[in-house]
Every structure is written in C-alpha cells, then in structure tokens.
A and B are shown apart, each in its own frame.
Chain A
Amino acid sequence: MNDSTHWLLGRLDASALPFWDALQHPTTKNVINAVIASGAASMVVLGAIAVVIGLTWTRRWGWLWREWLTSPDHKKIGIMFIALALVMLARAVIEAVLMRLQQALGLDGGFLTAEHFGQLFTTHGTIMVFFMAMPFLTGIINYVMPLQIGTRDLSFPVMNQISLGLTAAGAALVMISLVLAPFSTGGWTGYPSFTGRAANPGAGVDYWIWAVTLSTLSSTLSGINFAVTIYKRRAPGMRWMRLPLFTWTALCTAILMIFAMPPLTVATALLALDRYLDFHLFTADLGGNMMNYINLFWAFGHPEVYILILPAFGIFSEVFSTFAGKTLYGYKALVIATLAIAVLSFTVWLHHFFTMGQSAHINAVFGIATMLIGIPTGVKIYDWMLTLFRGRIRMSVPMIYASGFLMLFVLGGLTGIVLAVPSVDYQVHNSLFLVAHFHNMLIPGLLFGMLAGTNFWFPKAFGFRLEERWGRRAAYAWIIGFMLAFFPLYALGVLGMPRRTVAFFTPAYLPWTLTALVGATIVLLAMACLVIQLWVSVRDRHLNAMPIGDPWDGRSLEWAVSSPPPEYNFPVIPEVYGRDAFMLEKERGKAYQVPDEFPDIVLPANSPMGVIFAVTGTAMAFGLTWYQWWMVLLAAGVTLVAVIARGFCRNTPAPCRVKRCVVPT
C-alpha cells in the first residue's frame, strides 16, 4: 500500500483478502484453503447484502429500527441476543465439522494448512464461548428473569441495549475477519508470548483482543444489570427463598460476571499495551512474564465455565420440575449448592496450568479445591433425580435434552475429576482428553440447557409452540452426535494426541478421528433439524398456537401472562405468596383474575444508544486492528458525544416523547 492511502487504510491492504496467499503461492493445498476461506467470506458478504435487500424490499427498515433496534424492552433485547447466538452457533459448528474432517483425513496431511487450522480452532473456541454461549444465556436471562420475578424491565434498560450493542460489535468483528483476514491463531486463550507482537505481528491477534474485550465489557454490564434487577425489582412477596431456581442461577451468574469478566478485560487490555505500546508486560525480556497473563486469564476462565453452566442448571431445574409435574426436590439444597459453586469457582483456577512448574503442594491444594466443587454439583444431580422420582414425567423436547444432560454431564464430571488430580493431569493436559472433557460439560450442559430453554420458553415469547417431531429429532441427533464426536477424543487424548494439531503421524489415531467425524456429521444433521423445526413451527404456527400462555402447566410467574407477553409484562404487578407462585395461584383458583383497577404504566422510551455502541464499537475495534487511527478517533468521539448527549435526556418532555419517557431507576 502506498503512502497516499496509508493514513486511510492503515496496514490494511490486498493481502488481507482470503485468496491473496493462493494467488502468490498457488500450491494445491493453498488453493483448496483459499476456496474454503473465500467461500466463507462470500457467505458473509452475500448474507449481509441479502439482509439489506430483504429489508428494503419489504420496507422493514423503519419497523426494524422502531420495534427492535431501539427498543429497550428486555424481551426484545433477549430475543436479539439469542438470534445472534444462533447465527454464531451455525458458523462455529460448521468450523467444528471442518476441523473434524481435517483430522479424519489428517494422517500425514489432510487438506487444511496449519495456519488455516489455527484460525479455525481459535475462531471456533472464541465464538462458541463469547459469541454463542454468552449471548445465548444472556438472552435467556434477559427474557425470562424479569418475568419470573414479576417486574416490567431490567433496572437499566439502556445499559441493556449497550450490552447487546457491544456483543454484536464483537461478533461483527469476528465475521469481518472472514473477509479481511486473518484471525488469530492463538486459541481462545490467547496465551502470550505467542500472541505477542514479536511472535505474531499481524492483525489476527488484534482482531481477537478487541472482539474479546468488547464481549467482556458487555458481559460485565449485563452482570451488573441482572444483579441489581434481582436485588431491587422483585414483586412484592417474592422473598429470596421464593425465587424460582432459574432466577437464583441468574443471580449467581450475574455476580460471577461482575467479578470474573474484568480480569479478562484487564488481561486483553494489558496484552494490547504490549502489542501497541511496547509495555513488555508479558514478554520474556525487560521484566515481563507471560505467566501473569495465564494467571489473569484463568482467574476469569474458571468462573467463566460456571457462568456458562449455572443458567443451564437453572433451566434444567425448571424443566425437571415442570415436566415431572412436581415441586423441586430439595429447593434449599439446590440454592445452597448454587451459591457454593459460585463461591468455590473462584478458588480453583490454577488447575488449568498444573504443568507450569509450581510446587507440588500448591498443585495438590488446587486439585482438592477443584474436587470440592464436585460435592455441590453432585448434590444438584441427585436433587434433580429425586425431583423426577415419583413424578409424572412428560418426555417433551426440553425433557429429552434434560435427561441427556443428566446422564452425559456426570461423565464429564468424572473426567473432570481425573483432570483435577495433578499427577494424572500431567498426562492428559493439553491433549484431546481435555478437549473431550470440556465439550462434555459444554454441550450436554450449556448447549442442551440453552436448547431446552429455547423449546421451553419459545411459546411464551411467540405465542406458539415449537414443532415437537423435528424437535425430538434434533434432540436425539444432538445426543448421539455428541457422543460419537467426543467419546473418541477421550481415547485419543489418553493415546497422547495433542489438542490443536492439524495433522498427525500415528495410524492408531485414525479409527478414532474417523468415528469423531461421523459424530460431527450427526451434529450437523441436528443443526439442520433445528432449522427445519423452526421453519415448520413458523409455517404451522396456527396449529400450535398457545395464546393463553401456559403451554406446559408451568409453575412460575412468567406463565401467568399471555403469550407473547404485553410490552409491560404485567398489567398489575403481581403479589407473591409462595414458591412456585403461579402454580399456587392455579391451585387456589386465583389465576387469570382480572384486576379491579389498572394503574398507569410507565415504560422506558426507545433509545438509539445500543445501535450507536454497536457501530462505534465495531469501528473502533476495526480501526485499532488495522491501525486506522482516524477511524478510532472518530468512533471514540461519536461515543463520547452520544454518552454526554444521553446525559441530558432527563425525565422531561424533550427530547423524549412524553408518554413513554425514561423512568430513572
């Protein structure tokens, strides 16, 4: 790039195009990889164009702006979070299948270059954690929690918009990196000094840093929002020990977000200081030490896995109790166990680097601390089984996911204990055994939880059920596909196959990688079933309509309102008399009563803040990645002006519309 455009484009030039390398060095392998990468890039571009054309054609821009993008309604923001998560899930699963295909063909070679494979596991891991799992669970909490505690919105609706905007910006950045490559190859953990400027000077690591930074900022804000809402906005009579279990897990997750996300924001920020301003915090010379990064990362990383799993635990609690037609067994024990897990999750992070050379006593202490978490987790599992015991179990789709979770999750727990014993971890650390273990927690745990939750609450959000037959097919395909895709990885790990390896030279691995490919293919079928399920459900929505709003004989307050709920959730804020609030009302014949009078309802006004943060966040991160400083300054300036302008928007007529102005809360 010549000097005249350098101020404009920074270090961005034609070599960022995904086929550039293949043009320079047209080997067979490079061409294959360029075709794959360009295919993915054109899907992003064509997808974006199709959306724009579609919206213009159907004249939906105004509708999109008014009803969705600027809406402060927690339900709409929740749905947008989930939509984002599903799109990112699709991309990350396709990448996963590509990796499985590569490793199935990977004896002595395969078709992917090492560089391409490095980007695949990095984007897959980063997307799955930060742009699939986090938005999914944030979306579900957003949607369900205020309904469960009987309130009209989160405490900070505009901050909620900003959370969504920041996550969307991070996701956009990861998508843009498909078109203007490359992304980082440093894995989802991004350890320096591999991610330092000396080892990796290119734009890839910077994409990763800013995408993750945006996501962690978003999650910190979400955590604050959820926690404050649960503390401050419960309906009258909703005492702590009457909270639905999902709300309890939402609270614990929120607290974990508040304390666990900042360490990662700090870690990536410090890494950025190293890369941009030569701070030598994590380099090997001038006093830096990369072990500090690893420590900070896992101070985030371990609580993070509980951020991911706790909301799923909450969903499963609701599902088990609803579909067994029983009150939860051991509610108090479940609450105590959830709190114990949340606290203990901050005490075990060192188990991610037993091999880094610290003393055996420290390793042993952290190994034992890790096992302690097994106790409350075990209690939860048995409480759920006792909830099913003497119930009347309906095997609907959410219940299929939940049953699969119950049996598969304990296997992941078993291998987790194996990894927690340092002397054994010295053998399986960084091997595919570890990869199998965390997928065994994340797929049956987190992902099944989210899918169960989607099937469970979808009729609440849209007024019709998801189609049952395709839902079952998807659920069974997920369960079988997961087992075939990941159980072989335990064997491979025990046989010494490392994670993140593009190819291998040991024929004994081949049968296992082939089996895993079959599993990944079935997972792909499961994804297809999910798409078909959604399609069929929308097509036959009149058949499955559930306007009254209680499709499963539900127990908590969200089922008390119509489906979809009105913008204000509750015409009158309900009064709560016990646990399983709505079930109690139904049992006492008090459900669906028309209140005597309707007090005025005040709702927050629409605000463009979320969209502004999404746009400026993306622009700033993109500018930082490619050294386009004018873009960074411009985006920072716009953000600043927007925030200050927002400060002048009071509970006064102008500039908000009178009727629906902001309630400062």
Chain B
Amino acid sequence: MFNTPGCGLSRWAPSRLIIGLLLPLIAGCSDAHLSFLDPQGPIAAAQRQHFWWVIAITLTVVLPVLVLTPLILWRYRYGSRARYRPQWEFSLRADLAIWGIPLVVVAVLATLTWRSTIALDPYRPLASDQPPLEVEVVGFDWKWLFLYPEQGIATVDELVIPAGRPVSLRLTSASVMQGFFVPALGSQIDVMNHMVTRLHLEADAPGVFPGRNMQYSGTGFYRQRFVTRALSADAFADFTHQVRAQGRAFTPEVFSQLMAKNTHAALARALDGSDSVASTSHAGQTDDAGNPADDSTPLRFKHFPSGLFGAIVAHRAPDWGQDTASLSTTRPLSSHSPLPANSSLSIHPALAAAAPTGVTP
C-alpha cells in the first residue's frame, strides 16, 4: 500500500531531476500528495494560503535586511570614500521606522493569526450538509488502528473515508505520545495515552494520501505510516460491506499483537503466519530483524469489541462479549457517541475547559 509512485523522480533523467526538485516546493507532488502545498482538502488548502501570506507579510521586514546589509557592507568598507560619522548614534526618524514598521507588521500578523487559529481549530467540526463520518484512532507501537463504530469495522494503517464528507476523529494512544498527521488533508494532532484528542478532516475528492506518526516513539517510529484512502460515497459503502463480509476476525490474539511493539509487517506476519506474507514482499526490503517485510498487507476487520476505544483510553480490558458484529448494517447513519455514557474516561484537561468551539468530550 505504500508503493505509490514517487514524486516524479522514479527515473533519473536530469530534466526530471530539476522538475523533481522544483515542483515539490512550488506545487507539491501531484501524484503522491505529500504536502499541504498540494492540498487535497479544505483545511490543508487554507493552511497553504496562510503559509504563503505569513511569509509574504514577514518578508516586508526581512527583505530590507537581505538587500541593504550587503550594500552597506560594500559602501562603507574600510578605504572607501563614503562618509564616516563615528559618533552618530541616534535619529528619531530612523527609530520611529524601526520600531513602527515591525509593530505594524506584527499587528497584521496577529490579526491573521487570531482568525486563522480559531477558524482552523482541529476541534472545530467542519461545516457541511452531511453528517461527519466518526472514526476512532488508536496509536500503537508502531501502527495505527482505525475503528469505524457506525460501520462496525476496523482497519490497521489504512484510514478509509468518503470523499467530500467531513471526518470527525477521536484519537488516543495505547503507548507513548504520538502525532497523527495527514499532510495533504490538514492539521496534525498529538495522541496521548489515557487521553482523547480530536481532529476534523475532509478530502475534496477520491485519492490516496500518505499519513504518519510525527512524534518519535522508538525504533519502529520511522515505519509508523498509514495511508488515507478517500473513496466516493458509493465506493465507501461497497468497501464497508466488503469488509463486513470478508474482513478478518478481531480476536483477543489480534489485540495482544496490536499491543506488542512491532511494525505493520511484523504484525501481518504474526497474524498470517510468515509464509503467506513473505511471498508478497518487496524485493530487498527488510525490517530490523532481517526478515522479509511488507507494510502493504491489508489488515481489515469485520468487527471489533464495542467500546474498544473507550476501554483503551480507560486502561480497561476490551469487553469481548459485546461486539459490533451484531450491528445492523442497514442502520441509519447517526453521530452518536460510541462511548458508553458512564465510562470512566479521563478527560483531557483541555477538553474539560469549555471549548468555545462547542466541542465537548
């Protein structure tokens, strides 16, 4: 699942190299969607805009330094005939300018910052005529588990969402702190053990966007990536039906393998037995243990214990008696909270403080 084509650099022709160097910075990658400079959703698009605006506004004070310093150094070099005033140490006009201009620039930036920060608050639900898709995210060492409580399915290292519809994420970590991030779609947010953070994203159109953990979490950190697949509404419905029909069973063994420190490939090997996976691995790619590895083995589950997310947050054992397999697939969409009302969740302090954006745990 990670062998999406690279950024126009798959072949090393010199012209390609130059394009490959310039293009990512200017437009982002068209095929790999690595960056918010190639935004695939409303949040990332706004972030790109803010990025360039902030740079442009700040350049008004930075450019003069870059231009004038060499000029001054040259004009007043030792031995030049330029005027020399060793005692000159103050000019009211110059001082007004050097205090005043940065002040104005910072005032403009502050206004922009206030507005953009509140508008792009990751906790703020996205405006849309469709209800958001609820997804629960758990960061493990070193893979991501995605739970879809309404659909009753779960995926590992693969976030599948309908395009054009907001996604409302509740996130936690089953291990140390991690950073959940899909650059092409929007903000990153920290995920922490025993706590829940929130994030809202949306993809404009169907596509595949890389995502990953940004917060160092140990030796498998560099492999802790996932893909986000945005599908059309129909394709998304097909996908969920297909997983409900053909996905793997979410057994206690699966859960204990998720809790173990391993990467996607090792997890897949543990669940499948090593033989079946080795045959599909990329040539030459090995993990740290020297075994053939494959990060692309799909790990999709047709059910999971209800309230699994809440149990992980609260450090409780999953309730294997209650299961999403009993969910009716035809149940209408709702945005109910998947957590049991009386769960002894420890609430993120920041959540407890009344968030003016109207988000409560």
Contacts and interface: CB of A to CB of B under 8 A. Distances in A.
Contacts of A502: 222
A554 to B, nearest CB: 14
B2 interface: yes
A18 interface: no
Contacts of B20: 508, 511
Contacts of B214: 429-431, 498-499
Given A185-B218, A199-B176, A507 B90 contact: no
A388 interface: yes
A195 B65 CA distance: 43
**A426, A503, A506 — which one has the most chain B CB atoms within 10 A of its CB?**
A426
Interface residues of A, number: 96
B194 A375 contact: no
Contact of A375 (B28, B99, B212, B288): B99
Contacts of A496: 34-35, 181, 183, 210, 212
B285 interface: yes
Interface in A500-523: 500-508, 510-511
Contacts of A363: 117
Contacts of A411: 62, 66
A183 to B, nearest CB: 14
Nearest to A511: B21
Interface stretch (B5-13, B241-249, B320-328, B331-339): B5-13
Contacts of A392: 76, 78, 84, 86
Interface string B193-216: 111011000000000001011111
B256 interface: no
Contact of A414 (B2, B59, B348, B355): B59
Given A407-B65, A427-B183, A498-B212, A414 B55 contact: yes
Nearest to A377: B102
Given A403-B73, A407-B69, A508-B20, A355 B89 contact: no
B25 A388 contact: no
A379 B98 contact: yes
Nearest to B4: A506
A324 interface: yes
Nearest to A491: B25
A638 interface: no
Interface string A389-419: 1111111000000010011001101100110
B98 A382 contact: yes
Interface stretch (B104-112, B125-133, B149-157, B302-310): B104-112
Interface string A1-43: 0000000000000000000000000010100000000000000
Interface size class on chain B is 35 or more
A396 to B, nearest CB: 10
B32 interface: yes
Interface in B271-293: 284-285, 288, 290
A395 B118 CA distance: 48
A359 B355 contact: yes
B103 interface: yes
Given A359-B355, A506-B7, A390 B84 contact: yes
Nearest to A114: B219
23 contacts: A290-B177, A291-B192, A331-B89, A355-B189, A356-B350, A357-B122, A368-B113, A379-B98, A390-B84, A392-B78, A414-B62, A421-B112, A422-B120, A429-B214, A430-B214, A430-B215, A496-B210, A498-B212, A498-B213, A499-B216, A504-B222, A506-B6, A508-B34
Given A284-B192, A367-B117, A372-B106, 5 more contacts: A367-B113, A386-B98, A496-B212, A498-B216, A506-B34
- Sorted nearest first, the 6 A-B pairs with minimum C-beta distance are A508-B7, A507-B6, A426-B187, A360-B121, A284-B193, A114-B219
